[in-house]
Chains A and B, each alone.
Chain A
């Protein structure tokens, strides 16, 4: 193996690897780009792919229709109320819970709790949505925001507790023991010592929870009423029915309005999403 030959092979290999990454980059981005480009074209005509990506016929008419006729702001408001309320409750309740579980002295109690979290973590959502649909009617909260928020709590609790368990168990117990010796109450130890140490983890969990709630469709579709539907249900009003063709552009604009903010948000807070998603699997 001569040195120049080896170096050439390395360069070729690096080029091939970059080519593969660019190819994968296109697979991730081109579908989204297609949607956004299509939303900027007149709605009345079917568009071929070259037409969609050409700069001719640029218009913002679809966005006007999506926002006005599609009542975008109304659905956005519902989306925001649902995901932010669920987030606040989930953080306030689950963070101390995870902390408590990692500090349990009894291994048996700890195992039982960890297993309940794990077994609900993968629960099919229809298992919750079907009975909720029924007993929300019985207790008279069918179609309300409260019902949808409760469903979102059920969806996020296991995930957030699971993530935070990993972050809290990473704190060395000695740090807290010295805090207790210095006279901290259990609550002060949690609030002033443990919580600041897991703050990056808490951010990651909160961001993941927010994204999941914002994107959620199934629970809202089953449980929300006419006045409480979020964006994900709002967009389905354009799809289906015989006149879909004529509304292609508006659907694209509506879809772009939904995903562009969340994609930009995800790119900005990328670091936290990475740590949150890895924490879900990698040993803490």
Chain B
């Protein structure tokens, strides 16, 4: 019986496990392998083992350090904006008088639109119609209030801001949706009894509702942190890393070094560093929130 119980689930798992090893395990192994070699694109097969040279060279490169700083600002900015706006709108959506109405369903359907919109189109749209300095939507609206035109994507000071906001626009629906689903499970009786005891709307929000969904806030933050951290499409399409590398997040740097400059060893070294960063973030989150346990 125990042999039977052991054997049967594995017959279901095996094809997936093998495929996973081929398409996920092997590329990760190759990334580590390449990261310790010096390779040029036109001389494939002639890799020279250089140990940790690529890593030490990278870590002393101001371009790389700068890219880390850009990535941190971009990633944290997206996460903070998306969680903040997601939480605000979800709170309104789940408030009494709105939750469960036909209007709420209508709004929710459209609130998902930024998330399903093709990222590269979002980026191009942002570049040509939203942040464009002369004719763009943002400057048009600011102009109605008498604000001078800003060269959002041309200035090094504002390009990272515009890029971060664009990606946050795309990620907010995820936060909004999960927070809405979580807030909807909080029973009305609980809130009503708190109100009978004299709790104000704000008190019930910050003392009851938000603490009750803190697991979801943590998980959404992890998902948005990691997906903003790996974002390539939006940044590449919007600014290509410019102007003056002021928006060159690590994914874009990997592309520029690896494909455009054909320095694969260095590019893979950065990839491996990115992999380690995400792995550490995931492990911390698992330890903190017992995320792994929730699937048992």
Contact = CB atoms under 8 A, between A and B. Distances in A.
A126 B255 contact: yes
Given A25-B111, A263-B117, A120 B24 contact: yes
Nearest to B121: A255
A104 B88 CA distance: 41
Given A130-B268, A259-B117, A99 B12 contact: yes
Query: Which of A28, A102, A125, A231 counts the most chain B CB atoms within 10 A?
Result: A28
A204 interface: no
B51 interface: no
Contacts of B220: 281
A49 B58 CA distance: 45
A271 B259 CA distance: 40
19 contacts: A18-B98, A21-B107, A25-B107, A29-B113, A32-B113, A32-B125, A34-B130, A94-B16, A99-B12, A114-B295, A116-B20, A123-B230, A124-B229, A124-B271, A127-B275, A128-B27, A236-B124, A251-B128, A262-B117
A135 B30 contact: yes
Contacts of A71: none
B113 A49 contact: no
A127 B258 contact: no
Nearest to A158: B24
A168 to B, nearest CB: 10
B290 to A, nearest CB: 11
A154 to B, nearest CB: 4
B232 interface: yes
B135 A283 contact: no
A105 B7 CA distance: 10
A48 B89 CA distance: 31
Interface residues of A, number: 107
A122 B251 CA distance: 14
A218 interface: yes
A201 B188 CA distance: 28
B154 interface: no
B233 A218 contact: yes
A266 B281 contact: no
Interface stretch (B61-69, B145-153, B156-164, B175-183): B175-183
B112 to A, nearest CB: 6
A47 B236 CA distance: 25
Interface in A131-174: 131-135, 137-138, 150-151, 153-154, 157-158, 161-162, 165-166, 169
Contacts of A236: 120, 124, 237
Contacts of B278: 122-124
Contacts of A123: 24, 28, 230, 275, 278
A11 to B, nearest CB: 10
A74 B113 CA distance: 26
B279 interface: yes
Nearest to A89: B19
Nearest to B278: A122
Interface string B10-39: 111101110110011001101101100001
Nearest to B113: A28
A93 interface: yes
Contacts of A35: 121, 125, 129
A96 B130 contact: no
A200 interface: no
B155 interface: no
Contacts of B237: 217, 236, 239
